[in-house]
Amino acid sequence: MSAADKNAYDAISPQLLAFPGFSVMSQNHTLDELSYESRVEAFFALVEKSSVHFDLPKFSDMRLPVEKMIIEHEDQATFIIFCKVWQSILRKHIAEDRLQKPLLLLKELISLAAAYLYFGAVDQARTILEDCICFYRDTKQSNGLIWIETKKLVLTCVNFQERLQNLIERHKRSNPPSNVVAKMLIEAQVLLVIAPYCTQLLMICASSLLRLKRFKDCCILLKEKGMVKTDPRLTLYYAQALDCCGLAEEANDLVKSFLDSVPGENSSFTELRRIINFGFLRSKAREALKRNDYRSVVSNLTRCIVLRNHYNEKELALMYFERGRANLLQKDFEPALKDLNRAFQLNPNDQHFWLQLQTAKSLNWIMIHARDIWLTTNSAQVSEKTLKRRNKRKKQKSKRQKRQKLNIDFPPEDSVNAEYFESARLQLLDEMQQAGYDGTSLPTVFGKSAKESSNEQKSCKKIQEKVQARERDQDQETDDDVLQTTAKLPIDPENAINVDTNESHAFENTLVSTKTEPEENVCGEVDGCPNISTKVAKVAEAPLYLQQDRSIMKFWRQRYQLFHRYDQGIEMDYESWYSVTPQAIAEHIAERVRCGTVVDLFAGCGGNTIQLAQTCHHVIAIEIDPLRIHKAKHNAQVYGVSDRIEWICGDALEVISRLQADVIFLSPPWGGLNYSRDVYSLKDMMINESCSGVDLFQLVSKVTENIVYYLPKTTSGDELEALVPKQSISCDQIFLNGHAKVLVAYFGDLVQS
């Protein structure tokens, strides 16, 4: 027995020894051998007996040591019973002591309210304090210390209750981010100083610690408070924390003992029963694995994954690993590969998971070689400097330079309108002389004040800034849902292509410059600013059918990225604006394909066909639309590759079986302008009423195994694996200006490890 317990026990030992029931209970034990529960029971019995002849001072002296003893043992359940007994006795004898001992009664009520607040029972504490205030005013006591202490405690209760309610409302939100969870945890820990044993605060703290993956801290918090078995939700949090710390058996035993002692039917009890079922199924799976019953292992682990602890990712990874290994042993390769891949994603630091995954891949001969291709383009600007450098230089200007007025001074010989203005002035003088004026009575030159000249210069500066802003908007507008495009200028050999291959991932950086729009000198009066010659980009007008559709206008602004030689007569129809392959991406694909004969099954307006003709000896382009194939022929003539292309106007599905080719390039329609989906399925890609993306691949694979499939960036990798069982695939995830755009899958001899 500790020194604190002995002092508390010695203070009430005379009253306990005088109690007959206690003497019978302790006749075979010394004071040191009596348990904490026995002393508390004896105190309650003594209070019940002495309630007939109640003496408030004696009760107060006897209550204090027992209260300290219960708080030191951190026994919330006993303390709540103690407070209820305490409150019932005070209410029973409040009429007697209200006149005889008002100050002592007020102190007892305030102490009782503080005790309730200590365990978070704010409503009971506020009710008692309101009674204290009314009682204080009715008796007209003059003790200011009691009044100050009462008001202070009332304010604490009100503030605590408001903050607690706000915290509870915020905690109910689903899946808050980690920074919000950390902030809630700090606020809850601050409130725990006022009410260290408040159940709601402990729930918020435990839940926040689990979300932040601080499992050991959660176990320590709940174990120190000793309130694990007082509430099913706290028991659930403690069991989940133990499970995440690798103490699954202790968590299971804890839940079993709680369910045996406290029956219930709410959601928390349902979650606790799921823990029991999870442990039972986990043990059954291990037993089935020992007797080589792999089908039973897979069945039990599948149910375990459904009942899992969502906070324990390591255990989930282990279950996926064990299920994948069981599928592998029973030669069910496809689900085994998925489970092992999932296990490795959840726990990439476990080398054993990686080795087992490689074993499964080698047994199933399904290898996906993934690469990330990064294409970066310079923005098309009037000046040769990139936008980034220009912005950096603007930031370096000092405030003094920014305040300087714009000084536009063009020599007379530089202005093409100087001669025109001089001749107009001479003509005006001749007319004045013929009208009888000598040229001195009226002014021949009309000047302006310094202020007006400054305003003109400022307006001219604004005009130039608007023109530059319009150019930047036209060149830089991008759309993440639809492919952005690039154009190509002569590439510096030093910065052409830099490929760094690391295991199965390769990162390729390509710098592609873009062509600027044609420039012209604009002279004369611009918005009230005469005699100013400025150099601006010529803004061409979009076709009428594009101006009526804002969703297509963004592609019009990027026309020089779609085709570098757009100004040389490139022709496109409505659908081609959003379906043409960007020139930088088409160049990358053509460089990798480089072969003898290649078939472009869906040629369109010739975006891929033209670039394939740059690297391949012979290109067969198939397109069903006669008008579009006419435009593609014209575009090929612009690029000078029409002699390498054979054009076929017809249905690609009917023509392909009669052709022979080294490589077939597939770029079927994806579903229109708004094709974007979270996961794109080849089965949903309908070429016609009876042919899907999967059927198209099977039809083309009869001609050649060397296939290039141009697909959306969200295409499922599992479907690509299913296209060619026991064969390798090479997938390029192409990024343009830092954004993922398309997925290009290579099959057959085009696969690069």
pLDDT at 371 over 70: yes
pLDDT for res 6: 44
pLDDT for res 497: 38
DSSP of 568-618: GT----HHHHHHSPPHHHHHHHHHHH--SEEEESS-TTSHHHHHHHHHSSE
Higher pLDDT, 669 or 376: 669
Give the pLDDT confidence of 464-489 residue by residue, as tens digits. 676 666 655 555 544 444 343 333 33
Per DSSP, the chain holds a count of helices (H) and strands (E) of 33, 12
Do residues 678 and 706 make contact, with C-beta atoms less than 8 angstroms apart? no
pLDDT at 159 over 50: yes
pLDDT confidence band for 372 (50 / 70 / 90): confident
Mean pLDDT of 701-729: 85
Which distant-in-sequence residues (6+ apart) come within 8 Å of 343 by Cβ? 317, 318, 320, 321, 324, 353, 357
Which distant-in-sequence residues (6+ apart) come within 8 Å of 498 by Cβ? 508, 509
Mean pLDDT of 534-546: 56
pLDDT for res 443: 53
Q: How many other CB atoms are found less than 10 A from the CB of residue 48?
A: 11
Do residues 495 and 591 make contact, with C-beta atoms less than 8 angstroms apart? no
Mean pLDDT of 55-82: 67
Higher pLDDT, 44 or 299: 299
pLDDT at 515 over 50: no
Higher pLDDT, 650 or 89: 650
Amino acid found at 392: K
Give the pLDDT confidence of 562-596 residue by residue, as tens digits. 787 888 888 888 777 778 888 888 888 999 888 89
User: Mean pLDDT of all residues in the chain?
Assistant: 69
Give the pLDDT confidence of 656-677 residue by residue, as tens digits. 888 889 999 998 887 666 666 6
Higher pLDDT, 19 or 355: 355
pLDDT for res 597: 92
Order of strands across the sheet that contains 497-502: 497-502, 505-512, 367-377, 728-736, 739-746, 707-712, 663-666, 597-600, 618-623, 645-649
pLDDT for res 599: 93
**Angle 56-72/3-17 helices, nearest 10 degrees?**
140
> Using CA atoms, how far apart are residues 730 and 745, in angstroms rounded to an integer?
6
Which residue ranges form the domains of the chain, and what is each CATH number?
A: 579-750 (3.40.50.150)
Largest CA distance in the chain: 143
Distances, alpha carbon 98 to alpha carbons 87, 135, 312, 326, in Å: 15, 8, 58, 77
Mean pLDDT is highest, among 43-52, 400-409, 635-644, for 635-644
Q: Which of 597, 602, 634 is nearest to 617 (CA)?
A: 597
Mean pLDDT of 723-746: 82
Strand partners, 707: 664
Higher pLDDT, 249 or 369: 249
In the chain, pLDDT over 70 holds for what percent of residues? Answer: 52
Give the pLDDT confidence of 523-535 residue by residue, as tens digits. 443 344 444 333 4
Q: Which of 136-140, 480-484, 636-640, 710-714 has the lowest mean pLDDT?
A: 480-484
pLDDT at 139 over 60: no
Q: How many other CB atoms are found less than 10 A from the CB of residue 271?
A: 19
pLDDT at 17 over 60: no
pLDDT for res 675: 61
pLDDT at 127 over 50: yes
pLDDT confidence band for 452 (50 / 70 / 90): low
pLDDT at 363 over 50: yes
Give the pLDDT confidence of 164-211 residue by residue, as tens digits. 777 777 777 767 777 778 877 887 777 776 666 677 777 888 888 888
pLDDT for res 616: 92
pLDDT for res 600: 92
- What token pair was written down for 122? 């704010």
